[in-house]
Amino acid sequence: MTALLHTSGLTKRFAKDDVATVALRDFTLSIEEGSFVAVLGRSGCGKSTLLNLLAGLTEPSEGEVRYKDRPLSGPDTEIGYLTQSDTLMPWRGVQRNVEMPLEIRGVPSAERRRVAAGLIERVGLAGFEHHYPRELSGGMRRRASLARMLAADPATLLMDEPFGALDAQLRRELQEELLRLWAEGGQTVVFVTHDIEEALLLGDRVVVLGPIGTILLDRAVELPRPRSADALRVDPAFVALHTELAAALREGAR
């Protein structure tokens, strides 16, 4: 496999009231094409800063991001980004939000409607096509955002804690849906989470971050697929990995 996304020496500083905050320092990582990488870390360790850089939305203070062996100088249509904040258009209903990436590409309206309807169904929002974002719950808005990202059919998915706000049952359903999609489409996924179990359920590699994006552990997850949360919990290999990741997170907090 070849590295699709590569960062070298990435540093990001923010200045506020003449005080500089380092959010990420000297961060180097290669992500192979078609892999599912879970980035695990506690709040404030620089995960969103990293994803913003990988998405080409912000510029590094030092270092660079390369995508397909070319420097990434801005957003790329091949890279889909599901941010932590809500970016649905408030004046459009669910259906027209999900259709938006297709509209930008000039896809005819009948085809747009067909694709959007399929995605809305997949994320469990059938019946809410004409609801505006303000008429949806937080979890429903996340699902609509997910469907909109998928409508663009990106080869690379960057996802910032996409399922954190959902109830346990829904989270499980969407995790399974994402895995199905990934198995069918072979996308490259970078998935940020706080949750060790989620990282192990989804990823074939888990990168554990400590403060300012220090890599505490970079671990291949060789658990067989398909994985089910219930079966995993009693699998000794899962329990051992869980213990190892929890220890790395604890170590990073010292």
Ligand X SMILES: Nc1ncnc2c1ncn2[C@@H]1O[C@H](COP(=O)(O)OP(=O)(O)OP(=O)(O)O)[C@@H](O)[C@H]1O
Per CB under 6 A, residues contacting ligand X are 14, 16, 21, 23, 41, 43-49, 84
Which residue number, 48 or 214, has a Cβ lying nearer to ligand X?
Answer: 48
Chain position carrying tokens 């009231």: 17
Min. distance of Cβ 45 from ligand X in angstroms? 4
Min. distance of Cβ 48 from ligand X in angstroms? 3
Min. distance of Cβ 44 from ligand X in angstroms? 5
Which residue number, 191 or 238, has a Cβ lying nearer to ligand X?
Answer: 191
Cα 211 to the chain's mean position, in Å?
20
Which residue number, 42 or 66, has a Cβ lying nearer to ligand X?
Answer: 42
Element (H, E) at 12: strand 3-16
Which residue number, 237 or 253, has a Cβ lying nearer to ligand X?
Answer: 253
Q: DSSP letters along 69-93, please?
A: TEE--S--TTEEEE-SS----TTS-
Distance linking the first and last C-alpha atoms of the chain: 36
CA dist 1 and 173 (Å) reads 30
CA dist 72 and 166 (Å) reads 32
Min. distance of Cβ 41 from ligand X in angstroms? 6
Which residue number, 85 or 169, has a Cβ lying nearer to ligand X?
Answer: 85
CA dist 49 and 59 (Å) reads 10
Which residue number, 51 or 115, has a Cβ lying nearer to ligand X?
Answer: 51
Confirm if 209 and 217 have CB atoms less than 8 A apart: no
Min. distance of Cβ 130 from ligand X in angstroms? 32
84 to 160, 162, 165: CA distances (angstroms): 5, 7, 10
Cα 171 to the chain's mean position, in Å?
14
Min. distance of Cβ 22 from ligand X in angstroms? 8
Which residue number, 41 or 154, has a Cβ lying nearer to ligand X?
Answer: 41
Min. distance of Cβ 249 from ligand X in angstroms? 12
Q: For the chain, give me the number of helices (H) and strands (E)?
A: 8, 10
